[in-house]
Every structure is written in C-alpha cells, then in structure tokens.
Amino acid sequence: MSRSYVETVLLNGEELEYAGTLHWVIFLPGFSSTIFGAILCMLTPQVLNETFMLGLLAEMHGYLLWTGVSLVLGGVGMIAHSYLRFVSTELAVTNRRVIAKTGFISRSTFEVMLNRVEGANIDQTVWGRILGFGSIYVHGTGGGITPIDHIADPLSFKKQLMVWVERNQPTTAANGAQRHSVAEAGN
C-alpha cells in the first residue's frame, strides 16, 4: 500500500497532529447535473407524448433528449473529477508544519513551518456556515497567503493550526526577559 504525501515528507521527530479533508459539497455540481439530466431524459418522451408532439415540441424532442444525455455525461465527469480531487488532497497540521497537497498526476504543495505562520483567516459563505465548509487562508511571513478551499470543518482546522503555531513560538518568559533587558539597556 502506498504511503500518503504527508507521511513521506515528515521530518525526524515530526508527528501528524491533525488531518483535514475536503467537504462533500464538492460533489454537488456533478450530482445535480446528473440528476437533472436523467430527469430530463426520462420526462422528455412522456411530456412530448402528452402534448401530441405538436409543432415546436416535436422538433425539440431530439434536442431535449440529447441535452439530458449531455448533462448526465457531464455530471458523471464532474463527479469523477471531484472524487480525484477529494482523494488526492491532503491537509495536515504536524507539530512543526502546516502541509497542503493537491493534485493527482501533477502535484501542488504548500508547506510552512509553524514558527513562520503569522495567522489564518476563514472565509465562509452562508451555505458554508450551514453545511460546515469554507476556505482557510494561511498567512506566512514574507506576505505569502495560501487558500485552502472547500475544507470540511474549517474552524477545527484553524484551531488546531493556531494551537500548534502558539506552541512553536518562543516562550513568553523568554520574551518578557528580553523586553526587560531592553528596557534596562534604555535606562
């Protein structure tokens, strides 16, 4: 069995702390298209027979049927694409980094050491709030912002990310001692 991308890039002593996933909502366009197309294919002959196939409706019979078939085939293609996206996306927070990998054949990765993360924002639409998905924007030092779209339960992902970002920051006692010595030097 092949190992995941995250497992292959873990450093010595690095452990996976939280793994995120994409939300099932990415399948909705494909399912909607497939269902609408199937309904159109099934109802077209019945509707046209009930109207005695008069005039324009008789001419549209072939177009409606092919439109339905096209919607079904396009929907199946979108479902397949969404499935590949779902299984090939890895989102992880380790005790040292945040890692995001997308892509099946070609690969795109985003990895930032936690001590280089300045913050994270969540963007959720109304539907995202209702259904529990959203986008997270991770801000790295140097102005880098990377979006992670359609993530399931973005609040949990952000919470785990920020817990580990805080743990990887210098201790506040060291910061307080450093501020104290700077204040004494200024006097």
Question: Exposed, middle or buried, 135 (CB in 10 Å: 0-12/13-18/19+)?
Answer: middle
Q: Which residues contact 47 (CB under 8 A, 6 or more apart)?
A: 57
* CATH code, 5-22+96-181: 2.30.29
DSSP the chain: -PPPHHHHHPPTT--EEEEE-B-GGGGHHHHHHHHHHHHHHHHHHHHHHHTTT-HHHHHHHHHHHHHHHHHHHHHHHHHHHHHHHHHH-EEEEESSEEEEEE-SSS-EEEEEEGGGEEEEEEE--HHHHHHTEEEEEEEETTS-EEEEEEEESHHHHHHHHHHHHHHTSPPHHHHHHHHHHHHHHH-
Q: How far apart are CA 57 and CA 65, in angstroms?
A: 12
Edge to edge, the sheet with strand 117-123 lists 117-123, 133-140, 145-152
Q: Are strands 145-152 and 108-113 parallel, antiparallel or unpaired?
A: unpaired
- The contacts of residue 136 (CB under 8 Å, 6+ apart) are 120, 121, 122, 123, 147, 148, 151, 154, 157, 158, 161
pLDDT in tens, the chain (187 residues): 578 899 999 999 999 999 999 999 999 999 999 999 999 888 776 655 555 555 555 666 678 888 999 999 999 999 999 999 999 999 999 999 999 999 988 999 988 888 888 889 999 999 999 999 999 999 888 767 778 889 999 999 999 999 998 888 776 545 544 544 444 544 4
**Burial class of residue 117, CB neighbours in 10 A (0-12, 13-18, 19+):** buried
pLDDT for res 42: 85
